[in-house]
């Protein structure tokens, strides 16, 4: 049987993910909420046992209700708390709204630009995962641009953004160019003095080779760069890596200011702990910041 074009076991109703990294992920489907094929990708929102509502793009899980706050808080508050101030913030990708929600909690942010390739992701997530973006979609500081993140950044004024947060899909998807050295060069140009770029960068164990390559490309552009980690439950990769590159700010030194109230994972302690490099991660130490 096939449900929404997915491979589903007829007896049990397990959804099979489209992973190609040496193991198979099967999700117990409670309810298929939405399925469509946009101009860019296959989009599914489903209710999963234990993990809650989840968004899949091209059959790869992007966010799940159970733990999305860990990823989004650590992607946003680590760089924003390390900066003395953040007036202009650019989000590339992030069409589910979780990163946007966390950015808009900072009152000193004056402008947020969200550059999402696929209008359909925003529309579907606003309808089926409304708690992800919460009220942030209606924030007057927000401008949404439906465009390719790389092309958008190439046209951006130099020295413009205090923070660039790249919340994109993995390499091998429409986000592939966002992991190139040319992209990091463009981002470096668009960052203000003292600014910081952060990007999701898969896992230090399962994708060690990919993360190493990403860090090499960053190092070719940003003298100040590194990696930090947070737990990853729904991606089933143990640790989620974030790479950063900065022009004068060092997020590895810890927070420079207090993050908004109400975070569930981010604290000054979890900020500093994210930069710990135990021996098993020693190969990333040189680029730890
Ligand atoms: N947290 C997720 C993860 O770790 O996989 C990312 C989620 S977010 C939904 C990823 C978004 O990046 C998608 O909505 C996708 O359409 C968008 N995206 C992919 N390539 C892009 C590009 N080149 N420019 C802008 N957005 C892009």
Q: What is the pLDDT of residue 1?
A: 41
Query: Where are the extended beta strands (E) located within the chain?
Result: 2-3, 6-7, 14-16, 26-37, 42-48, 52-57, 60-64, 88-93, 111-116, 142-146, 161-167, 191-200, 224-232, 238-246
Q: Is 38 annotated as a binding residue?
A: no
What is this structure's pTM? 0.96
Catalytic residue numbers read 167
Q: What is the pLDDT of residue 221?
A: 97
Architecture of the domain made up of 14-64: Roll (2.30)
* Closest C-alpha to ligand 1, atom 2: 62
Per-domain residue ranges of the chain: 14-64, 68-288
Ligand 1: residues with CB < 6 A are: 57, 62-63, 71, 92-96, 115-118, 121, 148-149, 167-170, 174-175, 178, 200
Give the Å distance between the CA of 287 and the centre of ligand 1: 25
Q: Is 261 annotated as a binding residue?
A: no
* Closest C-alpha to ligand 1, atom 18: 93
Residues of the chain with pLDDT below 70 are: 1-12, 286-289
User: CA–CA separation, 57 vs 42, rounded Å?
Assistant: 6
Q: Is 79 annotated as a binding residue?
A: no
Taking only the tens place, the pLDDT of each residue in 53-85 is 999 999 999 999 999 999 999 999 999 999 999
- Classify domain 68-288 by CATH number: 3.40.50.150
Domains 14-64 and 68-288 alike in fold: no
Q: What is the pLDDT of residue 52?
A: 97
């Amino acid at each position: 049987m096939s449900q929404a074009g997915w491979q589903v076991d007829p007896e049990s109703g397990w959804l099979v993910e489209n992973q190609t990294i040496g193991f198979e992920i099967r999700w117990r489907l409670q309810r298929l909420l939405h399925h469509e094929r946009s101009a860019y990708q296959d989009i599914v929102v489903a209710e999963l046992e234990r993990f809650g509502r989840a968004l899949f793009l091209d059959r790869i899980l992007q966010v799940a209700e159970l733990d999305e706050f860990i990823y989004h808080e650590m992607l946003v508050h680590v760089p924003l708390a390390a900066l003395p101030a953040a007036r202009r913030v650019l989000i590339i990708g992030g069409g589910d709204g979780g990163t946007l929600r966390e950015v808009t909690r900072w009152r000193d942010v004056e402008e947020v630009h969200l550059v999402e390739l696929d209008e359909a992701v925003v529309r579907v997530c606003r309808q089926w995962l409304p708690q992800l973006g919460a009220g942030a979609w209606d924030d007057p500081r927000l401008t949404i641009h439906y465009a390719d993140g790389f092309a958008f950044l190439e046209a951006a004024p130099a020295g413009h953004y205090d923070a660039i947060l790249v919340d994109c899909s993995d390499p091998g998807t429409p986000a592939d160019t966002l992991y190139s050295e040319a992209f990091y060069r463009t981002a470096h140009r668009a960052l203000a003095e003292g600014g910081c770029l952060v990007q999701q960068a898969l896992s230090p164990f399962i994708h060690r080779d990919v993360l190493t390559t990403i860090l090499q490309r960053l190092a070719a552009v940003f003298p100040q760069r590194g990696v930090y980690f947070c737990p990853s439950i729904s991606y089933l990769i143990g640790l989620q890596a974030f790479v950063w590159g900065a022009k004068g700010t060092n997020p590895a030194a810890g927070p420079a200011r207090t993050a908004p109230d109400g975070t569930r994972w981010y604290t000054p302690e979890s900020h500093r702990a994210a930069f710990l490099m135990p021996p098993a991660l020693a190969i990333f130490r040189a680029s730890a910041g």
